[in-house]
């Protein structure tokens, strides 16, 4: 009996595993976002099964599985075909696994009704490290087209974009916590000086003049420390860069409708969208604007009642595009409006389909809108009367005046 591994280890394995742990994706629960990406992969290839996998040191964690009868969260690394895919930055495909002798010892290939067709795209980070794969499986031989393989690679990049966005935001939150801790530490001593000086003044009035100077000095020190920390925080916020390109809102709306259609159908909800065809070109960060709309539409579905209508629309208003997400859900009260865009805010509305919420979505949304020099606000007539979120993003280039036309819609 030998200890030979039936899979090879990438040369950058240590760095790869370090990055994988940074993402904090291992052993997490299933998420609708990843499930929808896996479902889309299965539909593109017209196959029964699709998976999103992350390759750990000794195992492969299955983040999402479509078409698998029994829920399974991991398999040994030596049993996963994904262990081969992470060795090279290419889309890997087997039209018929039985034509590849090196696969014939794999239990998932050998099993009765086992894997015959397999195609996977590596999940590659911006640093070039491969975290795992998105793969599709069929239990009979078949051929994949170049277009299908290209779309699979595109889905892999979307997964990594999601993970990178989460990582950036988590680091931002951690940075703010660190700044708060520094602030508490830095002002502790000046506050102690102020407290002591006040006690001395109360016990010895003649010392008031000298102690007053000590208090003034301590206050100046606190103000200087807080100013430095605020400046540092502002610099960190400005470090978030925009990847500006032309954005077709009609196309983005159609993609959102497709992505959320199944989720809305579960609650017997209907999504209607309208985008003025005469809108000027919006130059913005496509990913961040998509995340903004994704968060708002996801919240509209999450907090609206079954059988209601959600409206997504966009129109030109002066030098801005106004995007509205309107629902017939639980609405907002005065207290909700006061803390709506703060981190970890607890609002009165509750998910109507047992969905979960981390309290960060609207805070992230606001930061992304403001990075575009835009604004976001909400309107609600009151509880159980629905909510409308309005996002205003400035156009960089306007059309010629004779072509301008402001569209009206409900």
Tokens of 184: 């508490």
Whether residue 177 is found in the same domain as residue 253: no
pLDDT confidence of 240, banded at 50, 70, 90? low
Q: What is the pLDDT of residue 384?
A: 87
Whether residue 157 is found in the same domain as residue 189: no
Measuring CA to CA, which residue among 347, 350, 309, 314 is closest to residue 328?
309
Highest mean pLDDT among 124-138, 213-227, 245-259: 124-138
Rounded to a whole number of angstroms, the CA Rg of the chain reads: 27
Whether residue 41 is found in the same domain as residue 122: yes
pLDDT tens track for 57-100: 999 999 999 987 667 889 999 999 998 889 888 999 999 999 99
CATH for 46: 3.30.450.40
C-alpha torsion 125→129→132→138, nearest 10 = 90
Whether residue 22 is found in the same domain as residue 147: yes
Residue 99: inside a domain, yes or no?
Answer: yes
Residue 2: inside a domain, yes or no?
Answer: no
pLDDT confidence of 404, banded at 50, 70, 90? very low
What's the distance, Cα to Cα, between the start and end of the chain in Å? 73
Residue 3: inside a domain, yes or no?
Answer: no
Tokens of 96: 């018929």
Whether residue 279 is found in the same domain as residue 374: yes
For the chain, the domain total comes to 3
What is the domain range of residue 378?
Answer: 244-403
> Where a domain ends, among 206, 238, 270?
238
Tell me, what DSSP letter sits at residue 403?
G
Whether residue 85 is found in the same domain as residue 41: yes
Measuring CA to CA, which residue among 222, 218, 213, 210 is closest to residue 194?
218
> Where a domain ends, among 115, 139, 166?
166
Residue 102 Cα distances to 81, 94, 97, 99, angstroms:
11, 12, 9, 9
> Where a domain ends, among 238, 263, 280?
238
Contact in structure between 331 and 384 (CB atoms under 8 Å)? yes
Whether residue 350 is found in the same domain as residue 285: yes
Residue 150: inside a domain, yes or no?
Answer: yes
Contact in structure between 118 and 21 (CB atoms under 8 Å)? no
Q: What is the pLDDT of residue 51?
A: 96
Q: What is the pLDDT of residue 341?
A: 83
Q: What is the pLDDT of residue 234?
A: 54
Residue 172: inside a domain, yes or no?
Answer: yes
CATH for 346: 3.30.565.10
Burial of 355 (0-12, 13-18, 19+ CB in 10 A): middle
Residue 8: inside a domain, yes or no?
Answer: no
pLDDT confidence of 225, banded at 50, 70, 90? low
Tokens of 34: 């990843």
Average pLDDT taken over every residue of the chain: 82
Q: What is the pLDDT of residue 256?
A: 81
Whether residue 309 is found in the same domain as residue 208: no
Query: What is the rounded average pLDDT of the residues 398-407?
Result: 36
Comparing 396 with 340, the larger pLDDT belongs to: 340
Whether residue 134 is found in the same domain as residue 277: no
Give phi and psi for 392, each to the nearest 5: -115, 120
Q: Give the sheet arrangement for strand 309-317, strand by strand.
A: 270-275, 309-317, 320-326, 388-394, 375-379
Whether residue 248 is found in the same domain as residue 354: yes
Residue 5: inside a domain, yes or no?
Answer: no
pLDDT tens track for 272-295: 988 887 888 888 988 888 888 988
Residue 408: inside a domain, yes or no?
Answer: no
- The residue behind tokens 């602030």 is 183
Whether residue 279 is found in the same domain as residue 367: yes
CA distance 179 to 25: 26
Range with the poorest average pLDDT among 136-150, 183-197, 326-340, 351-365 = 183-197
* CB-CB neighbours of 239 under 10 Å: 10
CA distance 52 to 8: 20
Tell me, what DSSP letter sits at residue 354?
S
């Amino acid at each position: 009996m030998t200890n030979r591994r039936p899979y090879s280890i990438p040369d950058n394995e240590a760095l790869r595993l370090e990055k994988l742990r940074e993402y904090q994706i291992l052993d997490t629960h299933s998420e609708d976002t990843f499930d929808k990406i896996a479902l889309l992969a299965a539909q593109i290839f017209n196959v029964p099964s699709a998976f999103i996998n992350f390759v750990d040191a000794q195992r492969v964690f299955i983040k999402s599985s479509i078409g698998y009868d029994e829920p399974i969260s991991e398999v040994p690394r030596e049993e996963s075909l994904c262990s081969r895919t992470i060795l090279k930055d290419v889309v890997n495909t087997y039209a018929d696994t039985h034509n590849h002798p090196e696969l014939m010892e794999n239990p998932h290939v050998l099993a009765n009704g086992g894997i015959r067709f397999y195609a996977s795209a590596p999940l590659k980070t911006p640093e070039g490290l491969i975290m795992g794969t998105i793969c599709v499986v069929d239990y009979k031989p078949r051929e994949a087209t170049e277009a299908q393989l290209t779309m699979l690679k595109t889905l892999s990049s979307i997964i990594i974009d999601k993970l990178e966005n989460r990582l950036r935001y988590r680091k931002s939150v951690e940075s703010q916590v660190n700044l708060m801790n520094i602030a508490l530490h830095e002002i502790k001593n000046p506050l102690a000086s102020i407290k002591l000086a006040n006690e001395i003044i109360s016990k010895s009035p003649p010392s008031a003049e000298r102690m007053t100077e000590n208090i003034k000095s301590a206050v100046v020190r606190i103000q200087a420390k807080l100013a430095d920390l605020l400046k540092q925080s502002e610099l960190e916020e400005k470090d978030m860069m925009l990847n500006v390109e032309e954005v077709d809102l009609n196309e983005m709306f159609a993609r959102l409708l497709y992505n959320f259609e199944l989720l809305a159908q579960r609650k017997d909800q209907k999504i209607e969208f309208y985008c003025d065809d005469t809108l000027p070109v919006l130059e913005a960060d496509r990913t961040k604007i998509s995340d903004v709309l994704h968060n708002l539409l996801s919240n509209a579905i999450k907090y609206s009642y079954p059988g209601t209508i959600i409206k997504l629309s966009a129109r030109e208003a002066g030098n801005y595009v106004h995007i509205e997400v309107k629902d017939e859900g639980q609405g907002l009260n005065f207290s909700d409006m006061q803390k709506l865009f703060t981190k970890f805010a607890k609002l009165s509305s509750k998910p109507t389909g047992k969905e979960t919420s981390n309290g960060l979505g609207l805070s992230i949304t606001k930061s992304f809108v403001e990075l575009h020099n835009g604004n976001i606000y909400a309107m609600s007539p009151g509880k159980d009367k629905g909510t409308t979120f309005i996002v205003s993003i400035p156009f960089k280039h306007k059309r010629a005046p004779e072509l301008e036309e402001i569209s009206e819609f409900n």
